């Protein structure tokens, strides 16, 4: 049993390292070749874990080989758009101003129900609301609504709005985030003052304290309701 | 190049190095282990013929050397190959030792032939060859 435990740890660490190496794509954003890789990796990793007579190297070597293939394919896709189209396909317009493109639908092996489902996922429930819908290579559908169904934006209203400010967590779970303090251009004394203003006596009692560029503070102590207040605007926040 | 790109590049080169290293090591281990088994088998055959029997020091020494070498190689091969697939030679060597103690030449030679047969068969799943790839 100890062998299985140790093998599981080794393989887990290797698979974790390999996924970290491959980047941070989510399952839904995967290209076809990435999905294939994920499925094979999952299968390969379990064989030496469960079967003691199989050497761990029998699991590790194919995993490493697949990752090398993945990098080679990724590099080729970056270098050649033709190769990228061959491997990942290309986005296809499935709904145009004339309605559903049935030919494109058949080429993609999709049904009208699939299109409606993807449309609902994108927040549109009627075909009449959609100007264009594009089936992306990762299987997700991007929808461009007709102008009368587009969400209203500040730009449409031609009004000036304050710039969106990114809140920076300076305290999280009772600990001062030193890196974030530098980004927010605050000192430990500033943090103490902000906590005092929020009615929190000690840093370790604070669940979260965040400040944004405009000086809006959000503070919450453990098991208490949050408070918000304004303070002096921060200096230029680097992101 | 960002730090992550450097990390990727170094990791890829490392993986490539590890893979090449493992493949070369496996090929050398397999070739060395199987060729030494083959060589010992022929030496034992010759020693049996020359001494007209199995109860002599030459055969005994060669068999001990074969056993020692094979078990050492087998331990290394187990890192690369499913050890269930390569246990027959060890079993036959142990049988040969028993047959030698009993002075059963016929069974001894039969086991020796089996060891030679297994040595040939192991080439079908160990080491790099076109046959194994397909």
Cross-chain Cβ contact A53/B16 below 8 Å:
no
CATH class of A92-149: alpha beta
Residues of A in contact with B8 (CB under 8 A): 21, 71
- CATH level 2 (architecture), domain A168-230: 2-Layer Sandwich (3.30)
Average pLDDT of the segment spanning A207-229: 89
CB B93 within 8 A of CB B67: yes
Question: What is the structure's pLDDT at A27?
Answer: 56
Distance from CA of B127 to the nearest CA of A (A): 13
What pLDDT was estimated at residue A226?
Answer: 92
A207 vs A51, more confident: A207
Which of 1.10.1330, 3.40.50, 1.10.3720, 1.20.120 would CATH assign to domain B17-133? 1.20.120
**Residue A234: what pLDDT?**
63
User: How high is the pLDDT of residue A219?
Assistant: 92
Give the chain B residue nearest A65 (alpha carbons): B19
Which residues does chain B have with pLDDT short of 50?
A: none
A92-149 and A168-230, same CATH topology: yes
Averaged over A187-205, what is the pLDDT? 89
> ipTM beyond 0.90?
no
The pLDDT assigned to A142 comes to 92
Which pLDDT value is given to residue A210?
92
- pLDDT per residue as tens digits for the range A120-173: 998 999 889 999 999 988 888 999 999 888 888 888 888 887 777 788 899 999
**Site from A20, A55, A68, A69 to mutate, B interface, most B CB atoms within 10 angstroms:** A55
pLDDT value for A75: 85
Tens digits of residue pLDDT in A26-85: 555 677 777 888 888 888 888 888 788 888 888 889 889 988 888 888 888 888 888 888
Q: What residues does each domain of chain A span?
A: 2-85, 92-149, 168-230
Chain B: residue whose CA lies nearest to A60: B19
pTM: 0.67
Q: What is the pairing mode between strands A206-211 and A216-221?
A: antiparallel
- Say if the Cβ atoms of A58 and B82 lie within 8 Å: yes
Q: What is the mean pLDDT of residues A115-124?
A: 90
Measure the CA–CA gap between B77 and B70, rounded to whole angstroms: 10
Q: How far is CA B83 from CA B69, B86, B88, B106, in A?
A: 16, 5, 10, 29
3-state secondary structure of B72: helix
């Amino acid at each position: 049993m100890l062998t299985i435990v140790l093998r599981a740890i080794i393989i887990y660490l290797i698979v974790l390292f390999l996924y970290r190496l491959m980047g941070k794509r989510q399952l839904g954003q995967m290209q076809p070749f990435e999905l294939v890789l994920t499925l094979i990796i999952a299968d390969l990793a379990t064989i030496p874990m469960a079967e003691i007579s199989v050497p761990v190297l029998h699991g590790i070597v194919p995993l490493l080989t697949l990752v090398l293939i993945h990098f080679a394919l990724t590099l080729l896709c970056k270098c050649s758009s033709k190769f990228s189209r061959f491997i990942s396909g290309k986005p296809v317009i499935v709904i145009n101003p004339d309605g559903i493109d049935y030919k494109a639908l058949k080429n993609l092996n999709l049904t009208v129900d699939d299109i409606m489902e993807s449309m609902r996922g994108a927040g549109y429930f009627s075909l009449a609301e959609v100007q264009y819908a594009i089936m992306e290579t990762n299987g997700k559908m991007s929808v461009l609504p007709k102008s009368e169904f587009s969400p209203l934006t500040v730009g449409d209203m031609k009004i000036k709005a304050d710039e969106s400010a990114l809140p920076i967590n300076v305290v999280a779970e009772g600990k001062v985030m030193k890196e974030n303090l530098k980004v927010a251009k605050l000192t430990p004394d500033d943090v103490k003052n902000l906590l005092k203003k929020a009615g929190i006596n000690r840093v370790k009692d604070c669940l979260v304290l965040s400040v944004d560029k405009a000086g809006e503070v959000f503070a919450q102590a453990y098991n208490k309701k949050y408070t918000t207040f304004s303070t002096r605007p921060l200096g230029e926040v680097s992101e | 190049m960002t730090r992550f790109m450097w990390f990727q590049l170094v990791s890829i080169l490392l993986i490539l190095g590890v893979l090449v290293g493992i493949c070369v090591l496996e090929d050398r281990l397999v070739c060395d282990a199987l060729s030494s088994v083959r060589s010992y088998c022929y030496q034992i055959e010759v020693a049996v013929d020359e001494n007209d029997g199995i109860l002599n020091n030459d055969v005994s020494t060669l068999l001990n050397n074969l056993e020692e070498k094979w078990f050492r190689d087998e331990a290394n091969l187990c890192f690369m190959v499913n050890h269930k697939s390569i246990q027959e030679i060890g079993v036959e060597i142990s049988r040969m030792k028993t047959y030698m103690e009993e002075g059963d030449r016929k069974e001894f030679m039969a086991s020796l032939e089996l060891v030679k047969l297994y040595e040939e068969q192991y080439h079908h799943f160990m080491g790099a060859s076109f046959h194994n790839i397909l």
